[in-house]
Amino acid sequence: MNNNEISSNFKLTLFGNPVLHSKSPWIHTRFAAQFSGLNVDYSKTESPLDAFPKTVFAFRDSGGNGANVTVPFKEQAYPLCDEHSERAQIAKAVNTLKFMPDGSIYADNTDGIGFIRDVQHNHDYVLTGKRILLLGAGGATRGLLYPLLQTKPHSVVIANRTLSKAQHVVTEFCQYGSISAKRFKDLKAEFDVMIDCTSFDSWPLPIPKDIFQQCALVYDLKYSDKPTPILERAIHYGVKQCLDGFGMLVEQAAESFTLWTGFQPNTATVLEEYKTR
Ligand code: ATR
C-alpha cells in the first residue's frame, strides 16, 4: 500500500441551525476522493436551538469521529470541549470538533486561517499594513480576529449594532494588535478592506453610503450562488475585489479535514470544480 492508498472510515457531521444550505458535505466528499481508501461520511445535523450539547454527545456516542460547528453554536461549543487549540482558546469560539478515542473532545477554530489563505494565497491580496473594517462582533468575528491581527494590519475597527459587544471583543483582543470599536453611524470612508461577519443577510446596514470609497477588497463571509447584497453594492461602487465566503469555507474545511484524517487535501481543484460546475 503506498501513501495515497489508505483504509480508513470517518463519520463526520456539521452541526448548525439551519444547515440545509451548507456546501460542506460536497467539499469534504471532494477532499476524500483525493485519497484512495479514505471513506468519509459527512452529514448535516440540524441541532435544536435549546439542545446543542445533547446533540453533540449523541453524535459522538454513535461513533462520530469529528464535526464542524456553524451558526449559531460556535460560542456554545467552546465550553463543551476538553482541550482547545491556541487559536480556539483565544477566539472562545470553535468550528471544529475532534472526538478522541477516550471520549474527550478536542476543539479548533479553522475559520481565521481559512479566511487568510483565501485572501492572501488564492486572491493575492496582502493584509499587512491595511486599514480593516469588520462588521459584527459574534462568533465569526472572534474566529477571524487572532489570525487577522497576526498578519499585522495597520488597524482593525469593529463596528456592531450592539456597541458594547464590539467593545468587549476589543478588550479581549487588544493585546494582539491595533483594534478599536465604533458605532455603525460613526464610521467614515477610510478603510482598505471591509469584512462582513454579521449573520444579517440583507443590506443596507445603517452605515454611511460612501463607506466603499477607498476599499480595494470587500469580503462577505456568507456565500451564495449570486452576489450577496453587500457584494452587489460593492460591485456597484467599483470595488476591485468583491469576494464571498466560499473560498474561506473550502480553506477552513481543508484545515479541519487534515485535523481529522491526517491528510492535506488540494483546495485549488475543489475551488475550480465549484466554479465550473
Ligand atoms: P456568528 O457566530 O455567525 O458570528 P452571532 O454570534 O449570532 O453569529 O453574531 C451575529 C452578528 O451579526 C452579531 O454581530 C449581530 O449583531 P448584534 O451583536 O448587535 O446582535 C449581527 N447581526 C445580526 N442581525 C443583525 C441585523 N439585523 N443588523 C445588524 N447586525 C446584525
Position 2 in a domain: no
Looking at the fold, whether 126 and 14 belong to one and the same domain comes out as no
Answer yes or no: are the C-beta atoms of 250 and 88 closer than 8 Å: no
Does 74 qualify as catalytic in the annotation?
yes
- Global model pTM greater than 0.85: yes
Does a structural domain hold residue 23?
A: yes
Catalytic residue among 11, 74, 98, 130: 74
Atom 24 of ligand 1, residue of closest alpha carbon: 200
Contact residues of ligand 1, CB 6 A cut-off: 71-72, 74, 136-141, 160-162, 165, 197-200, 205
Ligand 1 centroid distance, CA of 137 (Å): 7
How remote is the CA of residue 203 from the centroid of ligand 1, in Å? 13
* Same domain assignment for residues 104 and 117: no
Do both 95 and 78 map to the same domain?
A: yes
pLDDT at 2 over 80: no
- For residue 71, give the C-alpha cell: 451558526
Whether residue 98 sits in one domain with residue 138: no
What pLDDT, in 10s, does the model give residues 77-97?
Answer: 999 999 999 999 999 999 999
Q: What is the pLDDT of residue 237?
A: 93
Q: What is the domain-level CATH number for residue 21?
A: 3.40.50.10860
Residues 152-170 pLDDT 10s: 999 999 999 999 999 999 9
Provide the 10 A C-beta neighbour count for residue 17: 16
Is 187 contained in some domain?
Answer: yes
Burial state string for 196-217 with b = 16 or more CB within 10 A and e = fewer than 16: bbbeeeeeebebeeebbeebeb
Residue 262 domain-assigned (yes or no): yes
- Which of 199, 228, 248, 249 should be mutated for ligand 1, with most atoms under 8 A from CB? 199
What's the total number of domains in the chain? 2
Percent of the chain with pLDDT over 90: 91
Range of the domain at 132: 112-244
**Same structural domain, 256 and 215:** no
The verdict on 42 and 149 lying in the same domain is no
